[in-house]
A and B are shown apart, each in its own frame.
With several copies, the nearest count.
Chain A
Amino acid sequence: MSDIEAAFEDGPAFVPYLAAGDPEIDASQRYVEALAAGGADVIELGLPFSEPIAEGPTIQSAIVRSLEGGMTVDDYFEFVDSLDVDVPVVCMTYYNLIYQYEDDEPQGGSEGQKGPAPFVRKAKEVGIDGFVVPDLPAEEADPLRTACDEAGLDLIFIVAPTTNEERLDRLVSLSSGYVYVQARLGVTGAREDVSERTTASLDRLAGYDLPKAVGFGIKSGEQARDIVAGGADGIIVGSALVDVVADGYESDEPVAETADRLEALCRELKQGAVAGAQDRPTPERT
C-alpha cells in the first residue's frame, strides 16, 4: 500500500489543493505548510501550465499568478524538495509539461532522457508521491503509468459523472493511490450545492477497493460532511482554498494572516469530513 492510499486508512482523508508558487514562492511555501497544519492527509500541489483547460477561473488565475511570478518546472521541483510537510504530495499538472521534461543529469541508458520516465524519477527524488493529470485520459496514459509503476509512485485518474461502466472499470484498474471522483460536470470551482451525481458516482464505485476522494466544488465543512456521509473516503478541496490566497493577495494581507485563514478553513473542512464519517449509515471502512 502506497503512502497515499495509506493516508485514507484512518478515517476520511482531507486532500487540499493549491497551485505551487501562488502568488510567489515564499508565500506559497508558507501556505502549503498551513494546509498540513490544518489537517491535510494528502496535498495536491499544482504545477502550473499555461493552458489549464480543466480549471475554472479561480484556479486559472492562481496559475497565471504563479507563472507571472516566474515559476518553472525546475522551480517546482525545488519548491517541493524544500517543503516542510509530512503528508504525501500529489503533483497535479497537464501532460505537456511531463511530456517535455528533460533530465539535466541523464541516468542509465539512452531511453528516458525526456518525458514521463525522467519526470517521474525527478518527482520521486524531491518527495512527490503521485500524479493527477486532468488532460490525460486512460487512452493516452500508458507511458506515464509505466513510469509510475517503475518508480513506485501513484497515478490517480478522475472519474466523471459522464464516465460509463466500461470506462469506469478501466479507469479504476489504472488508478493507484485513490480515485478522484468528479462531483459534477464542469470545471474546478467552488459551488454552493452538492450534486446528486456525486452520490450516484459513489454508488457506482462502491464495489471497488481503492479509496474514493470526491472533488469539484466543495467549499464548506458542511458540504464535506455530506459528501463523506454519502460514502466518500476523502474530499478534495481546491478553489475554496485558492480563493483565500487570492483574497489575501488582492487585499495585501500579511502572509501569516492568510496562512492562518487557510489553516482555519482546512480545519473546518477536515472536521466536516470526520463528522460525515460518523454520520454514515453503514460505515464500510473506518
Chain B
Amino acid sequence: MSESKPDPDPETEADAKFGDYGGQYVPEALMPAIEELQDAYERYVLDNEDGFMDEFRRRLRDFGGRPTPLQRADTLSERYDRDVYLKREDLLHGGAHKLNNALGQCLLAKYMGKERIIAETGAGQHGPATAMAAAHLGMPCEIYMGRRDINRQRPNVFRMRINGAEVNPVTTGRGTLKEAISETMRDWATTVENTHYIIGSIVGPAPFPAMVRDFHSVISEETRKQAKEQYGRLPDSVVACAGGGSNTMGIFADFVDSGPQSGPESASGGEPRADVGLYAVEAGGSSLSVDEERGVAPNSASLSTGSEGVLHGARTKLLQDSDGQIMESHSVSSGLDYAGVGPELAHLVDEERVEAVNVDDDAALEAFHRLSQAEGIIPALETAHALGFLEETDRDLGEFVVINVSGRGDKDLEAALEETEQRDIPNAPEMEVFE
C-alpha cells in the first residue's frame, strides 16, 4: 500500500490527517459544507474571529459550569498507594464532557448562519447535550435515534424532548447508533445548505476530529493548570476511556507534547516522569475475540484489536471482517459501543505516544461500584472503564495519576444494576429494598 500524500498545507487544512488516518470520505454533496466548516473552523476556532472562542469559553463557564474540579480521590489513593486525582467532567452541565463539543459546534453553526442543528445519538449523552446546547442558543434541533435505543433510554429521550428537540426514531436495521448515524448523514445530505450536523465524538471527516478535540481540549488545559497548582507538576499518567475518543483526546490534548517535566518537584516528593503517560481505555466487552461468521465483535476495542479502514468519513482503526464489512460492536457501556475510533487516537497509538488498553464488562461494573462506594461519585459506565484500568493494570502509572471522570452514572443506574445482577460482581450492593 502506498497511499501516502504530501502533508496538506498546515495553514489552510489544519489537522485534516493524522499520519495516514483521517481524511474526508464523504459524498460529494457534503463536501462543500465540509469545506465551509473547515473555513469556519479555521476562522472562528483557530483564529478566534469575532471573539468566537471568547464567547465559547464564557458560555462554557456560565452555562456549563467550567472549570470542573480536579479532585484528589482519598480512598482510591490509599488503595493504589499513589495520588489518584479525578477530573470531574461529570459535574459539567448535562452530566458529561459531551457539552464542551455540543456547545462549541452549536455556537459555530450560529456564527456560520446555519438555522438548524441535527445530531445522532446512541444510548449515550451526545443527544441530550446537543439538545441542551441548541435550546441554550435558541437553535431548532432534531436528533436521530434508533427505535431500539429510544425504547431502552427513556430518560434521555425525555430530556431531549423537554429541551424542545425533535427526536426522530430510526427504524432501519437494528435501530441503534450505526443506523442513527447513517440517517443523520442522510438528513444532512438533503439539508446541508441550512443545517449543521453536530458529530458527537472526534470521528467523522475532517475537520470534525480536530475541531471536536479543540472544543474538548479545555479539559486538558484546566487539568494541566490544576495539576501544577495542586501538585506542583504535571501528572505521571493520564487515563481516560475511549469510545470515539472525545473525552480521551480532550484530556490528552495538552499533554501529548508534554516533554520532559521541568519546574519544581512535587510537594509529595515523587519523581516526575520524563513524559506524561497517556492511557486510552477501551471497552473489552465480554471478550477480545470476534465472531467473523456472524460479524459480531463482543467488544469495542478498535484500537487494541481493530484494523485500519474507512468508516463514517475517516480512515481510522475499525472493527471489521476480512471483507471490510463493519462489525457489530458490544459493550456494557453504550457510549463506548462503537466500531470505530477517532483517527487522531489511532495515529497516536501507532506512534506509541498513547497506549491503548482495555477493560472488560465485569471489571468496569466492579469499578462502577467501587468509585460509588469509596468516593461518593457514581460514574458513567464509560468512565468506569478508565477506573477499572487502575485496578487491573500492572503498568507502573507513577506517583500522580489523573483519571478523566467523563460523566456521571445517573443515566446508567438501571442498566448497571441489571447487568450487575446477571453477573458475579463481588462489590455490588443488594437491591432487596424494593417490594
Contacts and interface: CB of A to CB of B under 8 A. Distances in A.
Whether A and B touch (Cβ < 8 Å) is answered with yes
Interface of A: 49-54, 56-57, 60-61, 64, 67, 72-73, 94-102, 111, 114-115, 134-140, 142-143, 157-164, 167, 171, 182, 185-187
Contacts of A158: 27-29
A72 B320 CA distance: 13
Contact of A185 (B24, B25, B192, B295): B192
Contacts of B29: 158, 160-163, 182, 185-186
A96 B25 CA distance: 10
A242 B387 CA distance: 49
A51 B326 contact: yes
B1 A96 contact: no
Contacts of B182: 51-53, 60
Interface stretch (B43-51, B305-313, B373-381): B305-313
Contacts of A49: 324-325
A179 to B, nearest CB: 11
B32 A162 contact: yes
B322 A100 contact: yes
A221 to B, nearest CB: 25
Contacts of B28: 134, 137-138, 157-160, 163, 167, 171, 182
B189 interface: yes
B191 A99 contact: no
A61 B172 contact: yes
Contacts of B32: 160, 162-164, 167
B185 interface: yes
B372 interface: no
B289 interface: no
B291 to A, nearest CB: 15
Contacts of B191: 185
Contact of B1 (A61, A111, A160, A182): A111
A136 B295 CA distance: 24
Contacts of A57: 172
B270 interface: no
Contacts of B317: none
Contacts of A97: 323-325
A134 B310 contact: no
B172 A53 contact: no
B238 to A, nearest CB: 32
B3 interface: yes
B23 interface: yes
B33 interface: yes
B199 to A, nearest CB: 13
A161 B193 CA distance: 10
Contact of A186 (B26, B186, B310, B320): B186
Given A64-B173, A137-B24, 7 more contacts: A96-B318, A100-B309, A137-B27, A142-B5, A158-B27, A164-B32, A186-B189
29 contacts: A50-B295, A51-B312, A51-B326, A53-B182, A60-B173, A95-B310, A96-B310, A96-B320, A97-B323, A100-B320, A115-B3, A135-B25, A135-B26, A137-B26, A138-B28, A143-B2, A157-B28, A158-B27, A158-B29, A160-B31, A161-B29, A162-B193, A163-B31, A164-B32, A185-B29, A185-B192, A185-B193, A186-B189, A187-B186
A143 B3 contact: yes
A51 B24 CA distance: 16
A140 B309 CA distance: 13
Contacts of B311: 51, 96
B178 interface: yes
Nearest to A48: B325
A53 B3 contact: no
A53 B325 contact: no
Contacts of A94: 310
B190 interface: yes
A73 B189 contact: no
Nearest to A112: B1
Interface string B4-44: 01000000000000000001111111111100000000000
Residue from A57, A136, A140, A159 whose CB has the most chain B CB atoms within 10 Å = A140
Interface in B154-211: 172-173, 178, 181-182, 185-186, 189-193
Interface of B: 1-3, 5, 23-33, 172-173, 178, 181-182, 185-186, 189-193, 295, 309-313, 315, 318, 320, 322-326
Residue from A54, A72, A111, A114 whose CB has the most chain B CB atoms within 10 Å = A54
A138 B27 CA distance: 10
Contacts of A52: 182
B295 to A, nearest CB: 8
Residue from B3, B23, B28 whose CB has the most chain A CB atoms within 10 Å = B28
Contacts of A134: 27-28
B2 A73 contact: no
Nearest to B27: A54
A60 B24 CA distance: 22
B189 A187 contact: yes
B173 to A, nearest CB: 7
B35 to A, nearest CB: 8
B180 to A, nearest CB: 12
A158 to B, nearest CB: 5
Contacts of B33: 162
B324 A73 contact: yes
A142 B193 CA distance: 28
Contacts of A162: 29-33, 192-193
Contact of B31 (A56, A60, A167, A185): A167
Contacts of A167: 28, 31-32
A143 B186 CA distance: 26
B235 to A, nearest CB: 37
Contacts of A95: 25, 310
B23 A139 contact: yes
A197 to B, nearest CB: 11
A140 B206 CA distance: 12
B25 A136 contact: yes
Contacts of B309: 96, 99-100
A135 B326 contact: no
A53 B310 contact: no
A261 B388 CA distance: 59
A56 B31 CA distance: 19
Contacts of A140: 23-25
A9 to B, nearest CB: 26
A53 B312 contact: yes
A64 B174 CA distance: 11
